[in-house]
Each structure stands twice: as C-alpha cells, then as structure tokens.
Structure 1
C-alpha cells in the first residue's frame, strides 16, 4: 500500500499568511483583510450555498488589483516567508521512507510553489489557487477602482459584525457583479474547504489508495472538511497548531514549534495506541523523557525542544486543546495566528 500525506501549507509548513502580508502593502490593507476574513468565517459557517472557507482570496483580489498589486509583489512577500521548524527535514525523511507528499493549499500559486520548492515538494504535487493579475486588471475601470478604494475605507470603520456582513455582502454579491468585474468567486476560484476535500479524493482515486489510508495535516477553517472526512474514515487526520475550526474535526492534535513531532503518528501502524501511551505517561515524561514512547523519545533527544502537546481529540477536551494550540500558533505564526 502506498503511503500518502497531504499537507495544508500556511500553518503546518510555513507560518506566513501570504495574502494577509500582501494586503499589508496597501494603506490599511491588513485591517481590510481581517474584516473580510471575519466575513468569510461567518458566511462559511452558516453554510451559504456556493461559498467555501478560504474564498477570502477571491474577495481580496479586487482590492489588490485596484492598487496595482501583481504576481511580483506576491513573490516578493513569499520570498521573505520562513518555513516551520522541521518542515523541510520532515518532507525529506518521508520521501526517503517511500511516502508520496502532496500540498493542498488555499494560497495563490506564486506563494505555494515558492514554499514547495524550498521544502522539496515540486509544483506538480501542489494544489493551490490560480490568479491572473493581468487579466483582472483589464476588468477594473477607473470608476470601479475608485469605488473599491472607497469601500476599503468604509469597512475599516465598521466595528459591528452585522453591519460588516451587510456591507460586504452587498458589495461583493450585489454591487460588484453588476460591474465589468463580475462575481468575484468566478474570477478567482479558490482551493478552499470543499476543493481541498475534492483534491484528497482525486489523489485517493489516482493512486488507488482508500481514504482511510491517506493522512492529512491542517490547522484552520479551510482544512476542516478534509480533516473531518479522513477522521470519519478512521484515517490519520492530524491538526498541527490548530484553531477552533480545525481541532474538533481532527483525530490527532499536535502542538509544537517543530512539525517533526507528527512523524511518529504518520509512521505508526497503531497511532491511537502510541498517542494514548503518551497521554497516559505525560506527567512522568515531563519529569523524565525516558518515559516517552520510543519514536517520540528519540525525537525529543534529537531535536532538544520543549515537550510537545500530543493528544487524541476528544470532544470533552477540545476547548482545552484549543487553548494550548493558541499559544503555539502565536509563537509560530505571529499575526497570522488570529486569522480563521
């Protein structure tokens, strides 16, 4: 049986939220991104038809294009991005051990391919969001450009959630579709929640590997569908430094500054037994790492890090896990930790 693992990119492999940082090139752009991201979370969770977690990257595109942002700006920001500790080593070790490594990312292709290249995952093994800035530029008239800038200033001033949702709903899905730009979701088709799951199923079909034998690693709202589906099939569904949207949908939760700590779970034939043994002995392990299960003990000795938080995700412990992971997210991801 072939061993396949599918990683989300932003979070597990690179701490940068590239779109957030690119929006930071605009005056007040990070605030605009945060508002649109909140809107994205709300309408995604309400289950609006035709909308998926991660479609933020469709919605910010008009704002970027109106300010003359293009792929060169995305690449410039991407080239400054760090990778998560242990990510390159993990990919290399998995490949040497016969794993097929895929990335399924909401990120714009320019960023996803840059990070993939740095950690050893070629572009043909990456699913990500395609965007053509030159084509979009042709769709924005001077009047529309001015209107987009106006809306940008307006939404920054809105603090009340209902007012924000009403304003953005009206602009994106009533006003903008009447212009030459059209429906933003059609202009940039994001690899978000449902499309990530579609990618996993496509990989399963291509390699003739059942879903229960595919491992997935994610951390946020765009990952909850693929995490949940693999968990449902009793596969290795792993959340790494996750948030409140991802954690309840995973089977295993790993909080750490180094992603190598998911390796023992990936390589174990009995991952549930391994993690249960770790949980059972955690108090002893905190005093003496010799008490840790051997695969994790070996990593603790090799990496010389603080003791990671490794658990099975149980409903009654979800809130506690979220609190633990918030700390890791802030340490590893900085500003991006608070985004959905």
Structure 2
C-alpha cells in the first residue's frame, strides 16, 4: 500500500509554532529561541553528539515557556489564532487522501497539531508529534524567577555565524552546563516531561507507519523541509521510496531525491498521484520535465497545476537547489522563520 508521510510546518503550514510561542510569551523570546536553535544545529550536525537528536530545541525552550505562564490551553488558543495554512493545502491533502493514507510526522507541540488537524479533518491517530505531561509539576515562584533570569542570559548570547568559532564554543559550553550537567536542580525533571519527535523519532515514526499499513519503504512518499527530517528523508531514499524536500533548507536538500519549490501544495498532490500510479520512477520522469503539457498527458487534473520548480537533486546540483530553495523558503514563510534550521 502506498502511503504519504509529511512534516507539518513547511509543507502544510507557514508557521514555526514553537518560535512564535517564544516570541509571544517570553521577553526577548526570539533571541532565546534562535540561540537554542543554533545550539541544536551544532550538537546534531556539527559535533554529531552521540544519542542526540535534532529537534531538541522544543525541549530546551519548554521550561522557559512554563516559567512565563504558558499552559496547554494557552498553547491551543494561540495556535488556533495564529495558524497559517499553505494555500491549497486542504484541497491537496483531500486529493491525496483519496488515493492513499496520509500521516503527519511533526516536531511541533501537540496543541498545535490538534488545532491543525481539526481544520484538516485528519485524526490525531495519524499524527506523530511532540507531547508533554504537565500534571503534578512542582514549580515554585523561586524556580520560575531563576528560569526567567536564565532566559535573559541565554537571549543575550551573540552566536557567530561559524558554529565552531571560539566564541560559539564558549556559549555551547555554558549551555551544556545548563542542560546536560545539572545546572539547575529542577530542570531535569521539567525536561523529562516532554517527549520530542526529532530527527530520530521521525525516522522511527516512518517505520511505525509501515508497520501499521503493511507497507514497505519503497511505498512511502516522505515530504520534509528541515534538519529534523534528515534521517527520515535519508532512510526513505535509501529504502527505495520517494523523498521530497519541499521549500527546504540545506539539511533536507542534502539527503532528499527530489526538490520542490512551490507557493501552494498542489505540486505535492501531483507527485502523490504519479507515485500512486507508477511509483518513484514515474515521479522522477516527471521531475525531469516538470511542465504543464507532459503532466496533463499523464492524467494530472488541470486544476492541480500551479507554479513550481521541481527537479532531481544530485551531488552536482545540490548547491544550486540550496541557493534557490532557501531563498524561496524565506519568501514563502518569512525571513525570521525561513532562516531557522
């Protein structure tokens, strides 16, 4: 059975919900999130720390959100008010669901996915996302004050562009002391309350989808756009499935097989239709000549055809696709979100 598995933020929505939550609820939350996001990139992509998974930024920022008064109800309300769905996402996903099961694998917090799935009409049983348990948390005012002060400290860090620069390494050393060496007595307990779906968990989620549906990696179409999709995109490609980098950054483009730059979701519906009919090879053939007439000849409905740049990624052209896609990504989602890993 063919299955469609996609990330949420990027392919389906324009949001970065955790970033937006930090900006709204935490003073200098944008700066705080950016520092911790780059720390996340460093640990996973540069240092390649054993056992670490990309996407842990959402675990790092969670105690600070709690210290500034976030609740599950506030997260859900904020998500419903700020949710920005990609154009034609509802229609495209409805078309895809007509031919194969759709699963969402996201690093985003569960309240955000609940808000989205309520609009899409997709069951949360078909969603893998970051979850947390706030019941019984003992969180004193003194603890909250300490975390607020720590948030101010982290937000003040100025991370160089080079993540291995001496100044950057000193910042990473300080963050290691905070998050991994018992810097605060209660922080470990708070961090244990959140289960992030990062890079490794996304790859495991794909395996779980295969198990549930009785499919194989060859029958999986996976769509991702960032560093947390790195392992899932790689595994699907190596397993013979279709891996698509949609409005992606360099991390996703380095391991995906097909690049797709689009202003709406219909190009993914086209790929899913072709994948359903003829597997990966049918999509690769179309990607080599992604034009209206050839696609119509393949039976693609005319209303699905919209502006898009689609092509096969190779070692020779990946630099081109990184330049094109990261520029496109910032234009579609905004510079602040588009720059995040």
What TM-score does the superposition give when structure 1 sets the normalisation length? Answer: 0.89
CA–CA separation in structure 2 for the residues paired with 1:113 and 1:328:
28
Superposed CA RMSD in Å reads 2.1
Query: 1:324: which partner in 2?
Result: 324
- Which runs of 5 or more structure 1 residues have no equivalent in the other structure? none
2:239 to 233, 246, 249: 233
Aligned to 1:85: 87
C-alpha displacement of 1:183:
5.5
Q: Work out the CA distance in 2 between the residues paired with 1:331 and 1:68.
A: 33
Alignment of 1:181-260 (within 5 A): 181-182=187-188, 185-260=191-266
The aligned length equals 326
Q: Contact 2:287/2:312 (CA < 8 Å) preserved in 1?
A: no
Q: Alpha-carbon deviation of 1:252? A: 1.1
Distance in 2 of aligned mates of 1:146 and 1:296: 62
Deviation at 1:328, TM superposition (A): 2.1
**In the superposition, relative to structure 1, how do residues 295 and 336 fare at CA in structure 2: closer, same or farther (>3 Å)?**
farther
Q: Which residue of 2 aligns with 1:158?
A: 157
State the secondary structure of the residue aligned to 1:255.
strand
Q: Tell me which residue corresponds to 1:101.
A: 102
Deviation at 1:313, TM superposition (A): 1.1
Shift of 1:304: 6.8
1:50 deviates by: 2.8
C-alpha distance in 2 between matches for 1:154 and 1:296: 57
Are the structure 2 counterparts of residues 174 and 143 from structure 1 closer, same or farther at C-alpha, using a change threshold of 3 Å?
Answer: farther
For residues 211-257 of structure 1, the C-alpha deviation after alignment (integer angstroms, 9 at most, x for no partner) is 11111111001111000000001211111111011111111111111
Deviation, 1:277, is 5.0
Q: Which moved more, 1:218-227 or 1:115-124?
A: 115-124
Question: How far apart are 1:295 and its partner, in Å?
Answer: 6.4
Partner of 2:315: 315
Aligned counterpart, 2:17: 18
**Structure 2 unpaired stretches of 5+:** 159-166
Greater mean deviation of Cα atoms: 157-166 or 254-263? 157-166
1:265 Cα shift? Answer: 2.2
Q: Equivalent of 2:174, from 167, 175, 179?
A: 167
* Structure 1 residue 142 corresponds to structure 2 residue 141: yes
1:266 deviates by 2.0
